[in-house]
Amino acid sequence: MEGFLKMVNGISRYFNIIAGMSLTFLMLLTILDVILRGFRSPVPGTYEVVAFAGAVVIGFSMPMTSWLRAHIFVDFFILRFSKKVRDVFNIATRCVVIILFFLIGWNMFKYAMDLQKSGEVSLTLQMPFYPVAYGVGVCCFIQCLVMVCDIVKIFGGEYE
């Protein structure tokens, strides 16, 4: 099981690096566009690229954020209960999250296939939408694996 945890952690870290590079690119592109707008020569398609990069940032950072538990937790209510009750609650919520993100990932893949078949592209740069949709779908499946790891950690007594 330790190997599985390390593999999922490694994938999450790799995806987080991609998200960080995308965020850096997004910031640099925005700065360049603002500067060039002052000279009446904006970067064409900035809005489209920022939208694509934003989707990559959100999707690809999600697994690592969950792994590190770096998102907002409202757990003051369940902290009143015993560890066993908290563990049952955490396992139940992780199972719900697995189902939710599996369905989101599945539908993102279906949506990406539809975008690919239709040949839908962005207006200005004619960039296809489907690679980003596939990428976010993969991130949703990795998110499911992170939740499975949480359940493994709960059973192993390593969670919290």
pLDDT single digits (tens) 143-156: 999 999 999 999 99
On whether the pTM is more than 0.85, the answer is yes
Q: What is the pLDDT of residue 44?
A: 95
Below-70 pLDDT ranges, the chain: none
Structural domain of 6: 2-155
Domain contains 104: yes
Domain contains 56: yes
Q: What is the pLDDT of residue 8?
A: 98
Query: What domain count does the chain have?
Result: 1
Q: What is the pLDDT of residue 158?
A: 83
Domain contains 131: yes
Helix, strand, coil share (%) of the chain residues, nearest 5: 80, 0, 20
Domain contains 160: no
Domain contains 37: yes
Q: What is the pLDDT of residue 1?
A: 83
Residue type, 41: S
- Cα(73)–Cα(59) distance, rounded to whole angstroms? 19
